Amino acid sequence: MFVFMVFLFVLGYLIIALEHPLKIDKAATALILGALSWTVYMLGSEQILSMVNNSGTYVSSAWAAYLTEHGGVVTKELMTDFISHNQLLEHLGEIAEILFFLLGAMTIVEIVDQHEGFKVITDRIKTTNKVKLMWIIGFLTFFMSSVLDNLTTTIVIIALLRKLIDDKHTRWFFASLVVIAANAGGAWSPIGDVTTIMLWIGGQVTAIEIMKGVFIASMLNMVVPMFVIGFFMKGEITRPEVQTTDNDYSIPGWQSKLILAIGVGALLFVPVFKTATHLPPYIGMLLGLGVLWVATELIHRNNHTNDAKNLSVVGILRRVDVPTVLFFLGILLAVAALQSAGQLQIMAKYLDDKLGNVYLIGLAIGLLSAIIDNVPLVAGAMGMYPIEGADAVGYARNFMADGTFWELIAYTAGTGGSILIIGSAAGVAAMGLEKIDFIWYLKRISWLALLGYLAGAGAYYLEHHFLYH
């Protein structure tokens, strides 16, 4: 059953990758994969949880800790309770944080979009040259994701792209570059990516040092792919035609600007709220959504036209892409099962034993994050490698606070997910919002993302190995 869980994940991954040829929606596959992963885990609990490694300890460190807390006597009832009432609920809580964050961000963006708020921005982007637009969108995404986060930024920028680019495949190309730029921008900021936030909160990195240490690598991760693309990207973009409707209510300019200001303010408020209160980011996102909701209710309280319902949040919620949220749910459930059962810990231990070099381990974890969600990978690394004290020497110094290993993990885990479209939250969001084909991304974008990833990693190695040692 232990190995079967891995087989099940690989099979589900392949079906998701072949979504378009098979004509099976990826959300459906992800939900089945997530549910079956925990089902197999529960049915094979006695065999899976009893597995031990070479040192004689349980493969699942979570099970070992739980067993110690409950007297150390192994029973079937205790195993069942561990999986269903401890691990599943714990992981579901973490997944719910991501889903509510995603729902809040998507709803805020949709409210701004329906009130023509993004038109205020797109009207100021005059160029139709593909290369110029690529650089504008790239740098806008890169710096925005360092202030917000890569997921929210991707949702916002893709909403902008829909106003700027009419052709589907051209928009796919730009949306894919947004994924690369958003992941790169989030990696160097302590609040720009979930994994960097984890390392920051855990004490592995500090805000100023992570920004100094990873900025150059992150910038190259974005710039190198766009520089290469600039050689063969030609022509002009075609903007979508303005849709004429029969609505009997015209949105005044002041309303568009006000909703845009409140919406962007709500998104920018999230990292401030988290820093000030130490509450999860989704609480700040829901608070921002609530404020924007009240604002729209007040603005339209005297609007009795037939179109009023389309501008209300209740009406806008019907337009939110629920399949994307369900896709997140299924994928994260499946990965959580592998983390709980211990497969991810075995993989992390294997990397440590076989590579034994912080640069190679960091590079490998980044490549793995293109396949497996980077959150459990980083969580596993944090659990495997304790923070060394100030008196550490040699190899151990790499694991001190702000050590080479932690900074490198922030970069590689944050940007490695760009190599495959489903390797990061930003990629999954872009895939869901724009219906980007996995194979299309693999053929046209993956090699560019890998090139940027290696360029950034190489720059980090040269900068820290020769300048700081």
Q: What's the pLDDT tens digit per position in 85-126?
A: 888 888 888 788 878 877 887 788 788 878 877 777 777 888
Per-residue model confidence (pLDDT) at position 246: 47
Per-residue model confidence (pLDDT) at position 108: 85
In a domain, 26, yes or no: no
pLDDT bin (cut points 50, 70, 90) of residue 201 is low
CA-angle at 416, arms to 411 and 420, nearest 5°: 160
pLDDT-wise least confident of 56-60, 115-119, 242-246: 242-246
Regarding predicted confidence, which is higher, 70 or 131? Answer: 131
- Torsion angle in degrees (nearest 10) through CA of 235, 159, 23, 96: 150
Both tokens of residue 31? Answer: 């939900």
pLDDT-wise least confident of 146-150, 241-245, 252-256: 241-245
What's the CA gap between 213 and 219, in Å, rounded?
A: 12
In a domain, 189, yes or no: yes
Per-residue model confidence (pLDDT) at position 216: 92
pLDDT bin (cut points 50, 70, 90) of residue 350 is confident
In a domain, 162, yes or no: yes
* The one-letter amino acid at 350: Y
Dihedrals φ, ψ of 239, to 5°? -80, 145
Look up the pTM and report it: 0.71
pLDDT bin (cut points 50, 70, 90) of residue 68 is confident
Regarding predicted confidence, which is higher, 141 or 194? Answer: 141
Per-residue model confidence (pLDDT) at position 135: 92
Residue ranges making up the domain that contains 308: 97-238+250-322
In a domain, 283, yes or no: yes
In a domain, 58, yes or no: no
In a domain, 52, yes or no: no
Tokens 């195993």 appear where?
79
Of the ranges 82-96, 267-281, 320-334, 340-354, the best mean pLDDT one:
82-96
Regarding predicted confidence, which is higher, 257 or 345? Answer: 257
Per-residue model confidence (pLDDT) at position 36: 94
In a domain, 342, yes or no: no
What's the CA gap between 42 and 271, in Å, rounded?
A: 37
Per-residue model confidence (pLDDT) at position 342: 82
Per-residue model confidence (pLDDT) at position 322: 80
Burial readout 331-354 (b: 16 or more C-beta within 10 A, e: otherwise): bbbbbbbbbbbbbbbbbbbebbee
In a domain, 384, yes or no: no
What's the CA gap between 131 and 329, in Å, rounded?
A: 36
What's the CA gap between 158 and 130, in Å, rounded?
A: 16
pLDDT tens string 147-195: 777 877 888 888 888 888 888 888 999 999 999 999 999 888 876 777 7
Per-residue model confidence (pLDDT) at position 165: 87
- What does DSSP assign to residue 250? P
Total domain count for the chain?
Answer: 1
Per-residue model confidence (pLDDT) at position 457: 92
Give me the mean pLDDT over the 398-409 stretch.
81
pLDDT bin (cut points 50, 70, 90) of residue 290 is very high
Distances (CA, A) of 452 to 26, 27, 237: 28, 29, 25
DSSP per residue, 332-388: HHHHHHHHHHTHHHHHHHHHHHHT--HHHHHHHHHHHTTTS-HHHHHHHHHHHSPPB
